[in-house]
Structure 1
């Protein structure tokens, strides 16, 4: 299994990479940290200040300014960017992701993302489009470090999964938190 070496043993921990450390990426990082078992969270953003903020807020364990590194190390790759950026990122990460990696996104529009995934995601790599249904803070403060320890995912929200095709072997799922 890919991943970073753990302290003192030969076992490697799975890596979950989060590309895009704006409010959504940071909140997903915090939600994953809250239920963390044995994996490493690796964060990437084109804005170095966002990487530093996510590290400082505890949303990720490590940061990288290399998209290729975030993709190559990932067992699970979250793309937390606007639709156009997700489509471009899929093309950029395609040469770096390894077979067995699962890629998902948080973009609200699925058609362009699923089309880009069909074009760029290679055999052996799985893509399932995602759309978190979140409750944003009511005070209007959406900074990456603004109360980011309260996860939006799993906090009364939910998530919709959109597999690329009905026969792709992936089941569509709607996860809903109890009301």
Structure 2
């Protein structure tokens, strides 16, 4: 694709929280046209009403034939299916990217059947909210966020740079390139495990009227327990090996704290806390 700012046709597939946020952020970059494909007619109507897309359709084959850049904001298995079902409808030089929180299976499967000349570049904006749907979308969701790209050998350098530029133009602070396997291993710790912990914390006790007895720490620790169960069940299953390994590491860590508490080993607790605090300070 010849890059000239963002003067090209964009198609966004899926107008939920992430897809809608892409539409809002990209609209400000003044592309030639933004079209959207979604099975929810109401979401399409709302997107047209607020002016974040130029056209919307449930099928969108004609949109796809004109698209220079396609952003697929669907669940992982739906993403693979969409590309496979529509590969005959894409331009030969199209650039396709996704937003999935899992990469190994996605990138490999899509590249196994995608025709030559078409570039699928795995993408993962590290941004989101507990709520879902277009009503929760915002262009600000990407502000200072991290963005991960998982390029393959077949990808053209200029197309990778296009995705990098898009991410930064939407407000992302850091854009990092990893292999799909590296992505899934790291994300199992930084994204998937926190959701496991939050859900487990909410399900570990049934104190009546618990809301009367909580403060900021409990709210922060359980924020992501308000979870999209369908999406996260799929992500956990697709990344099971890496996630189970991280859960087991976490179990060992919490056992160490439990042991120190049971033995009233204050010095060990102090050391554990200091180590965690130092790591947290370096992270932020």
Q: What TM-score, normalized by structure 2, do the two folds share?
A: 0.51
Partner of 2:109: 116
1:17 aligns with 2:11: yes
Higher relative contact order (CA 8 A, sep 6+): 1
- The equivalent position to 2:124 in structure 1, one of 120, 123, 131, is 131
- The equivalent position to 1:159 in structure 2, one of 147, 154, 173, is 147
Partner of 1:177: 173
1:53 deviates by: 2.0
1:6-155 maps to which residues of 2 (within 5 A)? 14-36=8-30, 38-136=31-129, 140-146=130-136, 148-153=137-142, 155=143
Deviations 1:21-71 (A, max 9, x none): 1110000000101222x4100011122122112222322111122242232
What value does the CA root-mean-square deviation take over the aligned residues?
A: 2.5
Q: How many residue pairs get matched?
A: 161
Structure with the bigger percentage of strand: 1
1:135 deviates by: 4.8
The DSSP-based 3-state class of the residue aligned with 1:109 is: coil
Given that 1:28 and 1:152 are in contact with CA atoms closer than 8 Å, whether structure 2 keeps it comes out as no
Structure with the bigger percentage of helix: 2
Larger Rg: 2
Q: Distance in 2 between matches of 1:42 and 1:108?
A: 24
Q: 1:141 to 1:97 in 2, by over 3 A?
A: same
Given that 1:27 and 1:152 are in contact with CA atoms closer than 8 Å, whether structure 2 keeps it comes out as yes
1:118 deviates by: 1.2
Gaps of 5+ in 2: 2-6, 175-283
1:120 deviates by: 2.5
1:14 deviates by: 2.1
Q: Distance in 2 between matches of 1:134 and 1:33?
A: 18
Gaps of 5+ in 1: 2-12
